[in-house]
Structure 1
């Protein structure tokens, strides 16, 4: 553990008990995760949640999103593909989750370059998400320390965004998770580093978005936000490393990733 005056740093990897305990809690609780996510990744995110032992629901109607957020165990708000209808649904769900003390995760996809998207992300970040998860460029932009990446792709490494993540956590009171070659999760005073994974994870659409859903599931099973985000990251990193072994390409890898998440979830429960 770091003895510097900055945030204390530790490393989590599977199968450390800090990771397997929260994973087992998901299997035991089967949390209902309300996902307002983008059209590109909805199916994959649902399959990742099912593999981990959670129960996904994709309710995007603005009239239903608020009431459903009140009864779900957790909520994911992923800003990948915005429409006026889903924007209203996101704000309603965030407000209802706050009223019901339901943990929710904000994924500010592609924030920074577009003024409307950035304004909505700022509004949602001020509504009390338990976790804000993004790549390094997205976190820098949301923290006011950058202008965003290239579309959904980051142009910075995770450690380059650490200061921005710490500042954003301090300003919002949320845990901030930065995805990259090494994932970083911070509450402003602590930093958990999560190594692992594989480059094939960047060749399958929706892996990062599914991580946000997985973080919501871990929080919805009762694990505090910092540990939930870090444990979800460590589980996905371990599954990615295992799925990549012998995978000839991204198609096989995507299927194996779901299998490995399910295998890790089963192992955690034992």
Structure 2
């Protein structure tokens, strides 16, 4: 039986990973920051309380571990920590432990197009770690998901008011994936050869398609406004010029990603329409 450490287990994907690993009969250790987070999990073999950015608190985290899966990363910077502190250095701390304890395989969850977007603060840190992992000598798996269903709730929240705003013509494409489907794919990939894999959901949508599904979920008429792309570019420039990376980082990422096709290899069977319909609520 393989012993697996999940770092970032309390996040959206991390919780699905723990469930999938236990369903398949693996022994699982999860890294948590505080004791109260134990309540997030039903079946875990070992809890380890520590902070990835504080090496002294995780010195024996990877002892007796065969595989490490890391979803460690921050979308919105908090606690005074930067992307470089968490997405790079936190994962680098974990990698150093994995090398010391001769872990068999290290899987890291990055993001689609991260290697093309290193000029963004969030990807500067993620891709610096990807490069370090590749050169570490450890067997590795790098997973690049297109985007989570949970990320698409931004469309759903906007649609509640009765209108969705998009930059450009709305014809750029993406295939977001449900966390449960992605967890299954991650487990398949970690058992394969060293490689980077793009992972998306079963359906490829335009941004207009997703906006339409979101409006329909609320029972609203289809009202989509297309804004000039120049506004998106100006917004990024203003944020970079007049705010700190702590403020502009997530907006820079979102606004840049929305100007690219984000289509990954197709997996899974969860439907975005059903996810939207299950996440509407009465206000």
Q: Same fold (TM over 0.5)?
A: no
Structure with the bigger percentage of helix = 1
| TM-score, normalising length: structure 1 | 0.42
Rg: which structure is higher? 2
